[in-house]
Structure 1
């Protein structure tokens, strides 16, 4: 197993145009989305970024990227093309060709973008080292339209079930699925960069009345096969398949799994497969962005409950969908009360399902029932201590209670488990850094949001203003007011959830310095 200390080293992240290059995790994000990158392309980009503003000769680049290997200049030329494609540098303004001399990396100067700090601390999780495993989406060799979402859901439930074993850490679903998008030749290097000591893969084929699935668990560093088994089962037996695979992987990784944990069964998300598929589609839509996706998710969750009225998970995610559609804390009180009651019903139906407790806690935050929210977040973490979303949302909850350091620690733990995390992690982490007075880092985090609302531009404006960069602050204020001309400082403060007066005053002062209410919007003739 790789040295666990590597996971807790300092993360080096750099802004490259509209992309973010993380040298520690070996990832490249563009407009908030993960970009698959070949290993040599990544190495070349990293070397260029480490040497900005300097002409690098072809010989120097060849030696840096292909040491002790004889390659032609054609390999370098192709690799440069790949780098430009990955970072969207069609105009060659970032990676410049210097005729007869070589290449030079020149970072763009974007008035609205905040460069990430050269080093962002990742907090060590205070627990004994444990193996990290990534469960990749299964390869489904079928034309059956239901099979792909069904087995994507099975993988998610295997991830969830493995999290019950407290001696194993599991790479979060979002990161595992993004990892699978890499080509076969890249996947092992990328898995190792993400801290995954083991990778589980599966392939699915049709069998009499069901499916045949071959699952393989391998060690990342050596590629050595640890365990493999073929399962044949009817469609209705997929829940038993999920639990069995999770237990077999746990047994293969850790010889002394606690017998009590081994006896625990992962709660089935629905009593029948048809309802389960609707739940999976609803969850996927809630994680996505686009016009009408939340309403579509709600419709799938209602269909799931028509088929299985006692599915706690469906009730919980329906409550979440209603709250999102209603506008979170801006939703009418009656809607929030209804969402809370539905989520309470979900926890009664599935008391050992961590996601039900997490969703209930999130709703309780917006109802300002903080003591109850704390209890349900604690219950969710007790049930599933390695659920990245629960760690992140608990961290956000600690931030709004004024516990900035605790909140940031939890958010960094979540990012460690889910380095390819969804975009909302950037907002929550930005809030933590803002409360702690670390304004450049907070601005960098808010800047990573791929599509900012007016409220998020307001946070970014406040960060730049409090950091003394009034020009950037006013530019952000103009962008926010353009999106929502009627959003005043008073409205922002009324929507603010911060419990401590000093945290509220910090944000109010930042908005005032940024001239939020003074921004003059252009008039149309």
Structure 2
């Protein structure tokens, strides 16, 4: 047994028995949805630990009383929003009590007066209310953006002394106005919300329903792994299965900015699947695709199509969001929107857009210092500036990139971008085994993330497996047909390392502009092919672009794990006349 001071939150669902008697299945499904989409994430975000649950309630322990109050108020405010268009007799509502006191921890359970007071405070509350003890009030007063009213001293069941009780004042709030400590700027991380509606079975064959539903659920599950999206749960979207619905109305009911819908048609041994992404507010079709396949391996087809849709949609959403921001020209951007714009600028891969991206990502970090994804992309953007030499102080820029990536890692170990950037960091440090481990972790978290897939190709190229690297880079291009131009640069370098010079030259030809790195590789490729004219031409362009170019400094930016690969590039540069 362990005894220590802790904050305890006790919550109970009001009218549980009545709702279960009226419609047991619907009540359970709605309760699960609230848990999955709102309650459990709020607990996790505020560092809470669920100690026990009952059918209609739960007991949660927090290391900080501020965290406990923030969690309780956030849940009650957002539940009020969710209930705004629900009939009074069907609303799921909670009452909450929070106490701070000595707790006994024993075999996964908690006991003591600290727990009992929290439970009694909850019983005093009405639907949608939060009651706290004086111990809680004294700790959080002035530290959270919540007002309290004093209810006086109350005699609580089985307690020998009265407890002074305070009640949180919960004004109407919007989903983008979570409660925050007063020391932080109250700005939300606004993620694009997306609902995947059940795909329609157009085959006339009821036996295909299992495949159609499975395809829908796989797409939804994979999208949910993307940290930059808020994906509405299956329980909410499958309510509309088999119904003829107005997409704008459905989106409003689900709180979704985007809707994915599609259909499946089977004819003989042929399968046709269509999918489209719709911006709910404007009813505009952002993206649509059709897949025609043979039925030889239906589940392999399902995996392929799921991967393609999941890889394409975030990029399409980013473009749509960027377009919307440009149209609206808001005076103030929330942290996510700043990251969104910074990513779009980063992908353009020019010195000017990189500088703009730095400014935008700095704004995101200032708005939400705890936003891991913002720190991760700050590291990525500074890393790009360092890698291309788009900065006055290389050492300082690299330090900023490293610090940002490590900060992101300390905030969130389950973000694919964080591990992708840790892998990039270890590539820069020539620690390729460590880079490979983080790269594999990134792909475990999100196997369809084109930026992680293409970087796996880079890692294998550096390790001396360029043929494997080429396969990964080609896969990334298939996953995202609208990939950034730099993918061609990665592919060109991999082909060069594999001694496939014509293929490397062809890959570099897809780039809209050529920087020093690509020009040097092209000079080396033509030299190895014995084309002295083009080798000399590209070598001259290297010197024009970078008057201070030296072969030694250029080779220092390479990260080959095999000496023969470094010697191979050196030989090509020497033959091209690059000293």
Q: TM-score, normalised by structure 1?
A: 0.50
Larger radius of gyration: 2
Q: Greater RCO between the two (CA within 8 Å, min separation 6)? A: 1
Q: TM-score, normalised by structure 2?
A: 0.45
Structure with the bigger percentage of strand: 2
